[in-house]
Structure 1
Amino acid sequence: MSICDYLTTFKAVNSISDDLLLNIIESNFKMYLDWCFLNIGGWFDAQIAYSGAIHSSLHPYSTLLLTDDDNYSYGQVWQGIRKEWVWESGVSYNGNNPIRISGVYVNNNFNSYPSGNFTVDYPLGRVIFNNPIATGSSVKANYSYRYVQTYRASDSPWFNIIQFASMQTDNPDITQINDGNWSIGGNHRVQLPAIMIESLPRARQRPYEIGSNALIIDQSLSFRILAENKNDRNKLLDIIRSQQDATIALYDTNKIAQDNLFPLDANGDLTVNPLMYPDLLCRYLWRKCWIKNVDFVEIDSIHHNFHQGEARVTLEIISV
């Protein structure tokens, strides 16, 4: 490479397809929050044997409901009342573990998973059959779902709705296919409580050491909390605040993509021998990130059923 070539190329950028700092940070923090919430018991179990006794017998969580998705034939897609099903393994809380999906019951006939007859879309909380089944079928599954849903703002589709009362299984809207909240695709519904992760236009860089191109980067990140009650909102804000001065590891999303080893595939289903969050960090460690400061910039109640807050976090990363 001549000196002229060197002066006409980007510094520290290898490919237009690569994730850079902001995308890597957002991806890591979503995985970090999901994993950490599971380790403090942030999930609920939907079990066929008990759901009718614990929850509404009309629409227990274990019952999957027919939904109309334009990408599939009618009768292929059956969704749970709550989305964001737990796919991780190897986590426990007080001796309990999230349920690993072993199959689904169709009219009381068990179909094992993975069997090739259907796929599980964990983020959207639904089962997709290879071929449509009778629309009057009874479809049930044992699974666990996250109590707190996390979202990357950059991954959000062009519109979203906030879905209230998604924990109330006696809601008559649940079975409506052509109207109501549940008729809207799961990728457009935000169920509460939720945390929205977004990079902010607040950053500064300074040299790390003499004779090096490395930088110390301070980058701000927003965690917007949405909840149906003040207790959940305050609790989530305090959890974020408690992470000040913590150091977390970041994995390299580019190398994971090159090796095609993301734990979920493009359809939201588990890949073969999926790597869990600690495995990704051990195998694809990239940088360490210091949570330098946490500030609350907003705490308010828009409605008696809608409460929000925002924690702005300053991260410090040494970029080589």
Structure 2
Amino acid sequence: MALRDNIQLYNPSAFTARFMPSPALQALLKGDFNKFLIVRVEEMYRHVTRPVPATRATIHTCLFLTEGQATMKIGSERYTIRRHEMLVVPAGQVFSFGEKDVNKGYICCFHNDMLVGKYGKSELLKEFEFLQVWGNPRLTPDNQTARFVLHLFKRLHQEYTDHGLQHLNILQPYLITLLCEVNRIYTPVATHAQTAAVTLANKFRALLFTNVCTMHRVSDYAAALHVSPNHLNKSVKAATEKSPTRWIDEAIVLEAKVLLSQSTLTVAGVALAVGLDDPSYFARLFRKHTGTTPTAFRKMIEKS
């Protein structure tokens, strides 16, 4: 059973229909908003009536605040941002959030296609580490950069509000400029580790992201990356302060959370879907990292 066959990958239209089913919100979304959209956070967030459980999206999401604070779970970590800070959720990354934050700002969602065309190229994606699942999703601009970023969000929002996607020759360069501005102040998760260790750790996390349901041993990843298990262990620890085993366990639990939230699989079925034949071991692993059982977690999601 392929893990991602069981997981709903939401595009913006499906996501808003499920979690924010509001005609008022739909009126703010222009044209093919599965490709690009930008709205004020307060205009979208007021339509969130319940917590959004662990899920994935087909597009990248950038959240920039001008007031208040916002908390999101991205991957296995929880992040809180405040005024003039930004969170990025890369396409395909698991995320979740609640419904009680009070804030203002902008939320911009875009497909990879928005970076390809007259003013962009696919290679741009490699330049923006924050659009990769292993990148640091929290961006804290200095005062000057924050002013530039705010101006670009305002300009994108005005163009989108007035004309939707009619003028991609305006939207695309402004979006690329925005990403370049924040890229200048981007801080990787590991700034203290050697470059070689960081590079190997990033390759490991990228491989883990696509193989979590079939590869559970550090030795398997080491073989795929053509290094020894000991070298992989040392490099990942140096770059991320977590062992490869911890990364693997957390990734398994994260996938399980999404399946428990979205699918009708039994707990034993979820265990099999994430590559674990022993439901008892799966339950122990899940409880170790979440503090609750898979069954209790699913009931909590159903009540929310």
Superposed pair shares fold, TM > 0.5: no
Structure (1 or 2) with the larger CA radius of gyration: 1
- Which structure is higher in helix share? 2
TM-score (norm. length: structure 2)? 0.28
- Which structure is higher in strand share? 1
